[in-house]
Structure 1
């Protein structure tokens, strides 16, 4: 057994190995260069590596797909992912799917799963297509631009419509403007919001004031929507959250607020980053781009989804997930103590040659013709904490690519790949995924 509750009667196992650098140095390296460092640590120390990283303290990186699969299959009481994600609580709240644990998490997930199943996601496809077609017409043609910026705007358009439904008013306009100003891509601001002292000064004070106004507007929207005569007929997520119940009671305004905010941010930045990386890769792999364009024109979503998955594998945006141990465990050959934060290193697994032939090569066909173990492709995590919006993210990404590639060809004036940088919770292209769009040749049109 790869993971089990520690046996107090047996001979004690050693703690996992790791570097002896001071904690602040480890924190800095992990924060800004985690991808390269994680791979070097695995080469030196193996699949289980101990670190000291602020704000979690004792951290253990898990680099092996089998160990991670065992984690995902473990009882929920053993690992508390919500506690590990509490760094996000000042923005997401304490009752969102990412930040709660135990019975509250189980109940929320059960209530919300039908809203994000495959059938429900198919119902959003027309919305994704409509918004993308409108937005793509505003993109530059024949000159370079940063696709990440465009994808952030488009992803917010889409997730906003999915959550709040169609229609705009003064309140929603102000709310959207505030959400765009909130520095969610600044890791230092996010971490500082957990400090009462930091929230009194500088960027943390500005972010705190933005959050206060955002909360006011969201609670006003919830109250207004709750009294809407057509609430029961609406299909947007906010209305369904307000109407949700499991036979005992519905969700409180705080719970509705926390789910809405969590979905807004978790549904925007990771998908925008994945799409930007996909365009980055297509621009630098002309043969793949041509195949994808033919698939887009033919309405072949299967190949486009393979492009999305290969981009998520090779350019993993969420490089790790975060779980806090609720009991002492034996992890392989090591003992890990209660309270330690475990981080399954998703990005390391995605580049493991044990599961991927030529992992450094961008080849979407591997997701069509190769037998990839499910636990070796985990961009959305796994187990009871698997991202509830996984189907929506893949569908949205494939549909956006279909619209773009059926209208434009994707190239670049800088064929050298952009570096991957960690400026927020996602690892994004350093140059903003710079691309050039050109009109499709007449033969392809």
Structure 2
């Protein structure tokens, strides 16, 4: 059963203060959280309970949440009280202040209104053939029978997909440079977070190089925007996201160049490595389970996308790409027995909720079947966030993943490429397979329903 009802409540006198937490210096807590937070959080929960206080840079006071009732109260609370944009402020130097991920209240609602048409079901259907073609081209390059890092291959594929979806272009020097810059751009280490928020560091070493990459990327994107605007109606008549955004407006007018830049960068980054990581984990889990892989191969052969989506959803449950959601509270609120003061960041901890036996039976077992019985309560399965900030691209990510799995499983049988299952490793704000999800792909032969041998 899911959690019981929960509602937003302002704080009343007499409630307790912040929950308990470690007493380590802020710098030490920040370092541990950024590098091994996925291992630290369960230990903190075991010691302090479902609510744990941390002190992090640059967020300040942070309260981790692992109880679904508390999480429901946060995600369904008013957006005037729980600011998701402020909660994501750590990525503002990269995404830009006008990004839908950084906006709050009226600005956030407007950004979603303008972006939503590009991700409706009718728009998604138009992308299926393109995703299948790009996947087939990628699979032609896979080394048969030789171990390789599936995460690297999926990153390359999903980057190509998102570039086509966002810009609509297929080739050219500018697209080649965008590929190169985006690959470098997402190669972020925990130490890079310091440079984002300490300008003095941006004059030296790695931080200086990262800033130069970002400026070149911005310049390229602005070039594309200017060219499309100069083309007038012809530049806004395509089916790619940029064309749709150039042709959209509301009572406040259309998006400015600066707003377009921030939305496009957000879509490029959010729609790239997150999907690639979910796919890499899916391939990893299928490689380690012959029975599940056989069932998935039958689903691929018979067009059963529901099961293929269930594989991806279960991968996202067992291996969430993002470890937490963040909301900055704008006024004092009650959560459980505690009074959370204004200015605190509350964090629903995705991985902990996904592995909680209160909400998921046999939570450490990879079982896509649990998603064929109907969706779990939103606050117990959180890979795409929740509430008013539920990810706009969730439908696209699941569609893309199902298409990719279908193409892979109709062509190859997968085996583990190294000894031992892989564990998560922190890579900037995402968790990735520690060794890149190493698999072997063997050409599939046999009957058309997936009962194949190599």
* TM, length-normalised to structure 2: 0.94
Q: Distance in 1 between matches of 2:219 and 2:373?
A: 51
1:16 equivalent in structure 2 = 19
Equivalent of 2:215 in 209, 212, 217: 212
Shift of 1:192: 1.5
Equivalent of 1:272 in 273, 276, 295: 276
Asked if the contact 1:183–1:207 (Cα under 8 Å) also holds between the matched residues in 2, the reply is: no
- Unaligned residue ranges in structure 1 (runs of 5+): none
Shift of 1:248: 3.4
Are 1:343 and 2:347 counterparts?
yes
Shift of 1:180: 2.0
Asked if the contact 1:184–1:190 (Cα under 8 Å) also holds between the matched residues in 2, the reply is: no
Equivalent of 2:87 in 76, 81, 84: 84
> Match of 1:187, SS?
coil
Equivalent of 1:287 in 272, 287, 291: 291
> Match of 2:440, SS?
strand
Asked if the contact 2:285–2:366 (Cα under 8 Å) also holds between the matched residues in 1, the reply is: yes
Are 1:235 and 2:239 counterparts?
yes
The count of corresponding residues between Structure 1 and Structure 2 is: 443
Are 1:175 and 2:178 counterparts?
yes
2:9 equivalent in structure 1 = 4
Shift of 1:123: 1.8
Segments ≥4 residues shifted beyond 4 Å: none
Change (3 A) 1:31 1:434: same
Equivalent of 2:100 in 82, 92, 97: 97
> Match of 2:63, SS?
strand
Equivalent of 1:146 in 149, 172, 175: 149
Encode CA deviations 1:83-131: one digit per residue, 9 max, x unaligned: 1212212221110111121211110101111211223222211111111
Encode CA deviations 1:18-62: one digit per residue, 9 max, x unaligned: 122222222222222222221222222221111112221211001
Asked if the contact 1:409–1:437 (Cα under 8 Å) also holds between the matched residues in 2, the reply is: yes
Shift of 1:222: 0.2
Are 1:437 and 2:441 counterparts?
yes
Asked if the contact 1:94–1:258 (Cα under 8 Å) also holds between the matched residues in 2, the reply is: yes
Change (3 A) 1:315 1:251: same
2:34 equivalent in structure 1 = 31
- Unaligned residue ranges in structure 2 (runs of 5+): 1-5
The alignment's C-alpha RMSD in Å is 1.5
1:428 equivalent in structure 2 = 432
Q: Which range moves more in the overlay, 92-101 or 10-19?
A: 10-19
Asked if the contact 1:183–1:189 (Cα under 8 Å) also holds between the matched residues in 2, the reply is: no
Are 1:378 and 2:368 counterparts?
no
Shift of 1:374: 2.8
* TM, length-normalised to structure 1: 0.96
> Match of 1:4, SS?
coil
Q: Mapping of 1:42-61 within 5 angstroms?
A: 42-61=45-64
